Every structure is written in C-alpha cells, then in structure tokens.
Structure 1
C-alpha cells in the first residue's frame, strides 16, 4: 500500500477552499531555515487536511451514511475529523484514550462530535473505533494509516516547495507516520525528508530495524500526539521507496525545542510539534553546509499556561 504524488495532487484539488494555505516563515539568521507554520491550520493541526480529504472522498464514493464517520485519536485526529464533519454536515464519533488531554477533548465536543473514552492508549481506542464502524456502519477514518489521510497531509509539502523551490530538505515529526508518508510522496525526487521521533515513541526506528512495523512501548511528553504504538504501513512503504534520514531526540530536547519556538518565534506548539525542530535545536541532526531546510511545526493544541 503506497501513495504517490498524483494522490497528493488529487487531495489538493479536493480540499481546495476548505483548508488554509499556511505560511512558510523564514528564520532569522543565515537564510537557510524556514518553518512551515501548520500550527495555524484549522483546528491547530495538519491533520485537518487529511480529514477533509478522507471525508470528501468518502462522500464521492457514497460510503458515508447516517452513522457518519468514526475515528480513534489521541486528540488531534479527532479534532480534525470532528471539524471536517461539522463543515460537511456529517455525524462524527471520536474514540479517545482516558489519557487524552482535556483541552483537546473539550474542543472535539465543541465541534459537535460524540466523544467516547476507552483505555489508556491509542491502541485501545483504535480497537473500539473499528468495532463501532463494523457494528454501526460508520465510515472508518484512520488517524494516520489511510491513503486519503496521508495524501491530504502531503499537500503541505507541495506548498513548501512552491513557496521556496530551492528547499533541499523537509523535517517532520513521526508518530504513526501519516505526515511523513504524505510528505515523502509529495517531494520524492525533489527533496529529502528527515524523520524525527522522540526516543520514547520510536515506531519508525523499530520498524526499520525489524524489517517491518512492530509494536513498541510509548510514553513521554509527546505521546499524546506521537504516541501510536505501531508505524503505519504507508509510512513503512514510503521509507522503503526512498530512505529518510531517521533521527531520535530525547525528552529534554523536545521540551527545550518547544520552549525555543515560543521564546524565539512566539509559536505555541505542542510537544509533538516541537519534535521536528528539536532535531536541529539539539543538533541531533545537522544540515550540510548550504543545505536549505524547512521544518514542519505541525500542531498547536496545547495549554498555553505550560509555555512559560
């Protein structure tokens, strides 16, 4: 199961007018670093792109009925699917683990979705969402490992290369890998991808070591958004098609990068969204001399009181 640049192009046409073209912010300094400000997307997260693409494609195929859509989420995918469903007049049911941040759960409810809490990890919510789809006839929307979802995410990379055609590398955070899979499909042959994970959520690293996706233990400050237990098949296929630069960052690096984004740019990112920037800020990964780099700041669903 793979996606292509054509899939990303189709997604971009489909969601046009429903998502924001987010800004590409040039960093002060040497002129070789940009921040893709996807935290300014509707719902404060890149997943809104994939949510609209999934639901609009489902409507085109006449597969979304009275039961609407169902998704399992640590928070952000649920926000995005709920927002898109409200915009399209579709019923939405979102399964979240008990550990999902309350700030995200309340926003999901405000968008009109029904929230059901199940278990303590994403995996338990995922099982419950699949069972609900089977029992109720709802259209299942995967949080990350679904072609329409990943292709929708990849549309942000097309914007990056249009705004700055000379970009050599795009840096993304990886949890389940939907964003990585979409970006990799969009830029294949045109730019390389650096895939950054917290040490406590190493799904990509473990998959590359094992020769395929495997379950891993997840924990840490970024687990609410990057805490998928297993890398998606789409992300693994993308890594096989063109190897990324895999990078691990520790907890302190993620926390420091989040603080730096706030202090230097006044960007209020969540820890998962700061993970990509942490690779550069901590020097876990260093660009080559002259390399032009765009870092995706992918989400802002956080408690601002924790930024000080």
Structure 2
C-alpha cells in the first residue's frame, strides 16, 4: 500500500531533485527522507529514482507516479477546503487564477455581479498567473477556475491536457493582436500595414506568449525587431507607445481603452495572429450562484453564468 504522506514527500523530492533539499524544506533529516523514499520504492515494487552525486531524477515509473501524486494532492487539497467550508457553514469559496487583462475585463465584473447583494454570495480569492502557472494551480487544487489564453490554433495546446488533467475547457472569446503606433507615426492613418514597413522601428515587446507571437512573425519574415522595453502590462506598453518610445502588439481590449491611438489592420494577403481565451473548470469546482440575467446553459459568450466576453471580433496587423 502506498501511503499519502510518502507521496507528499515524493512530490517534494521530485520538485527539488534532491533528498537533502527536500529534507531541508520539510525540516527532516536527509536520512529520514532517503528511508521513506526507499520504503515507497518497495511499496511500488519498482525503482522510482535515478540516484547520482548531483541529486536524483525520476525514472519512467517515477514520472508516472508523480502524475498520480499530483492528482491525489489536488484532491486532498480540495477535500480539505470542502470540509472546512462545511464546518464553517459560510458562503461557498471560489478561487480564480487569471492573467491581468482578463482579470480587468472579465473576472472583476463577474465577481462584482456575484457579490452585489447585501452579503457576499461567494468567498472569492483571485490569483494573478500566466497560463502555465494558472493551469498548475488548477491541477493542484489551489484554484477552481483558470482564465488562460493561447495563439493561432483553435484547440488548446496539447500540453494543457497534461497540465490540468480532468478539466473541461470553455472557449470565451477570440481576438487578434493589433499594432499600436504613436499618433505621429507614418502609419497612423493607415488601415492596413505590412510587417516590413515597421522593421526598423523600436519595439515594446510583451513577455511570454504575446512576446513569442512577435518573435514568430519576425522570424518568419527575416526581421530582427529592435526591442527597447519588455513588459507584461499592456497599459504600460500603450503608454510608452503614446510617449513615442516605440510600437507594440497589443490585444484589442487594451487598445479600445484609449481609441485615439492608431491601429493599422492586417494585410489582406497576410495571416492574423489570433489570441483565444479559455476557461478550464475542474469537475469539483463548487457551485456558485448565477448573476441575474445570465442564461442557465453555458455558450460561447456566456460561461457558467460568470463571464460575458465581448462579441466583437477585432482585426490585427500581420505581414
């Protein structure tokens, strides 16, 4: 029989790649950790670690067990939260992991509607996280709902299925990145533009997936953007564009916040860069009251009665 406590210790060893480091984090002795992992291997009847002087790595069997251990850890965490809620007999709890722009445009209005009564209907917690961390939070039970995004393909990336197992994905909206230029830029009055027209301009580039989108477009057309700033805050990026520091790719919701900034559209012969927002939901997510006026069944524009994404589909610059 594999014990849950040993699985918890196993997860820590796998994460840190060292018996000694896991022992330090858990305030145990390295020998105690080593003994517990040896007992776990005997219970599993197979070798779980490759040991070396530099630490430990997981075998194929160890990787398989880690996936199960992550799932068990998440279920136990959710069970503890459910039991605590039942003990307290308070409002249901909901933890949402979201990236900042979706937090402003989707999460905050939805939570305001949920808690618009005299007393809060839902005990809410919000975690700011990009997709990889948000999915990890969903998988380990520290979040019930995650708002995530990806580019180009209609289906979520294959890695997401592993990152958040047993979760359902609900598409929320689809948009296309826009090119934002200063008001005095040569392209400010243009409705379309090609990437080579801004090849020599300084760029304010996003991090993670938005930044990768620019890298991919530039590489496909043999252009090396001159990056003068990198930021994960699209409003800050737009402010720098308005100040004449450079140009940037910005998703439409942020561009619409200050519409005086120009946004050349996509070339009719090019390909637009699509950004798709999804809402993975864990099957054990607690039921929460629906705001008045929302449909009972989820659809592409209404998911679980919590989020109403913008129906308008924007156009983006592409080469």
Q: Based on CA coordinates, which of the two structures has the bigger radius of gyration?
A: 2
Higher normalized helix content (fraction of residues): 1
TM-score by length of 1: 0.24
